[in-house]
Amino acid sequence: MTLVVPRRNYRTSGRAQDPKRVARRQDGRAGKLEPTRHHGKVDRVLLLVPSASYRASDFLDAARALDLQVIVGCDEALALAGGSGSVQVRLEDPEAAADAIVALDAVTPLDAVLAVDDQGTLAAARAAQRLGLRGNHPDAVAAARDKLVMRRMLSGAEVSQPAFAVLSPTAEAAELTRLTGLVGLPWVVKPTSLSGSQGVIRADTVAQALAAVARSRSIATKAGVAPDQPLLVEEFVGGPEVAVEGVLENGELTVLAVFDKPDPLDGPFFEETLYVTPSRLDASELSVVTTTIQAATRALNLREGPVHAELRVRDGRAWVIEVAARSIGGLCSRTLEFGTGMSLEYVILAHALGRPAGSLRQGQGAAGVLMLPIGTGGVLAEVTGRERALQVPGIVGIELTIAPGRVLVPLPEGNRYLGFVFARCDSPEHVEAALRAALAELDVRLEPERPLKRRLAGR
């Protein structure tokens, strides 16, 4: 892998597209592309990486395995390796980001633009469309990022999903009472644009719903959501939940992995903990899951690249909880291995460049990840027991992602995990047992409460 340091005097307007770089469908969307070699034998990729992302190193490792040239586009300057091989891109403004990427391509030609997390997907889609590179239409990506738009499009295509309603910014008790007749209780209230279960709250009564709406709206506003944005109210669908990783090529879905979530996600908050693959669903249930996700991606007009979906499964039916035009978040992808040792990031990068990735069959055995929950808010002092946890048979790694001295914020206000524990065993049952045993060995210690001025002074 080569990290490319782009020239800094690129223009703010793009150049005309090379017609050889893209095969256009008659409806104007990018079709199947042939890889280009317009700057030599090595493909060049722009990775859009939010400054708070966990994913950069895994994508860079995959790029190294594919012998790619890489430029990292980040929303903060000098976020990686002192800024070497990176450019600052305003991911919060997709149109401005696309302008900057088109200008970069004019002097440092790109073969793919890829977002590693939600925040960059719309910028990547807009830039790819303008440059004639493989990707989804920006409208499809925008729909997947907005939970309300997604629900409406799935409803229009009659895709199985929870009943839902829109809660206006000025909603009071009377409107909440009316919506209970449409959606029923219990329900789940959520902001339309946040992720990681932030602001997602279950309510079983109208009184709880009033409190949940006020809390969810406050969380969304503090996270930067405009106060005039509506909230989404959804029917609570019980039953086991699964997460699915897939990749789309010309609209056709290939399921790469299905994760069970053994811990019930019944609320009132929805902090995920255990992911275990392969799934223990039976063949008929897995078939329903695949069919439902394919229907959802078609309803959203998603056609290319990674897909992460979450569904509830019960009584031979699957309900779509979420579909995202990205891969699984956090460090969870480290549980996956395909063919002769390919990572999920390897598969995604190869697809973006139109390269064959080889066998996409999962590796033998079972794997899983424990996302370390934040049970109590406060300032992190230390996490003890790591060495004991690593001695549990089947545990292959532990990554702590919040440093001592940082504030821990639990759900629903927070949106981060304390860390990740990884396991590999011969069966899903053994993976689950190993992860639970490792968790029992870990102890999260918080700093004692101190006055704010002393804490800011580091005393």
Cα–Cα distance measured from residue 453 to residue 459, given in angstroms and rounded to the nearest whole number:
9
Question: Long-range contacts for 237-240 (Cβ within 8 Å, ≥24 apart)?
Answer: 237/162, 237/312, 237/314, 237/319, 237/321, 238/266, 238/312, 238/314, 239/312, 239/313, 239/314, 239/315, 240/281, 240/312, 240/313, 240/314
Domain boundaries, the chain: 2-136, 163-235, 365-459
What is the biggest distance separating any 2 CA atoms in the chain, rounded to whole angstroms?
66
* Tokens linked to 438: 């490792």
C-alpha separations of 442 from 32, 209, 212, 399, 401 in Å: 48, 35, 32, 12, 15
Contact of 345 with 373, CB cutoff 8 Å: no
340: which residues sit within 8 A by CB, 6+ positions away? 358, 359
Digit-by-digit pLDDT tens for the chain (459 residues) are 554 544 333 322 333 333 333 333 223 333 333 333 455 578 999 999 998 888 889 999 999 999 999 999 998 864 444 334 888 999 999 999 999 999 999 999 999 999 999 999 999 999 999 999 999 999 999 999 999 999 999 999 999 999 999 998 887 788 888 888 889 899 999 999 998 899 999 999 989 999 999 999 999 999 999 988 999 999 999 999 999 999 999 999 999 999 999 999 999 999 999 999 999 999 999 999 999 999 999 999 999 999 999 999 999 999 999 999 999 998 999 999 998 889 999 999 999 999 988 889 888 899 999 999 898 999 999 999 999 999 999 999 999 999 999 999 999 999 889 999 999 999 999 999 999 999 999 999 999 865 544 444 444
Contact of 162 with 155, CB cutoff 8 Å: no
Helix (H, G, I), strand (E, B) or coil at 347: helix
377-396 exposure pattern, b = at least 16 Cβ within 10 A, e = fewer: ebebeebeebeebeebebbe
C-alpha separations of 431 from 83, 311, 388, 418 in Å: 39, 22, 17, 20
Among 357, 348, 370, CA closest to 417: 370
Per DSSP bridges, beta strands 407-408 and 378-384 are: antiparallel
String of DSSP letters for 131-143? HT-S---HHHHHH
* Tokens linked to 38: 């317009």
The CATH number of 365-459 is 3.30.470.20
Amino acid 95: pLDDT: 96
Cα–Cα distance measured from residue 389 to residue 442, given in angstroms and rounded to the nearest whole number:
7
The CATH number of 163-235 is 3.30.1490.20
Helix (H, G, I), strand (E, B) or coil at 191: strand
Amino acid 173: pLDDT: 80
The CATH number of 2-136 is 3.40.50.20
Cα–Cα distance measured from residue 169 to residue 241, given in angstroms and rounded to the nearest whole number:
30
* Tokens linked to 296: 């959802």
Amino acid 175: pLDDT: 85
Amino acid 1: pLDDT: 54
Amino acid 180: pLDDT: 83
172: which residues sit within 8 A by CB, 6+ positions away? none
Amino acid 13: pLDDT: 31
Angle formed by the axes of helices 138-145 and 147-156, to 10°? Answer: 110
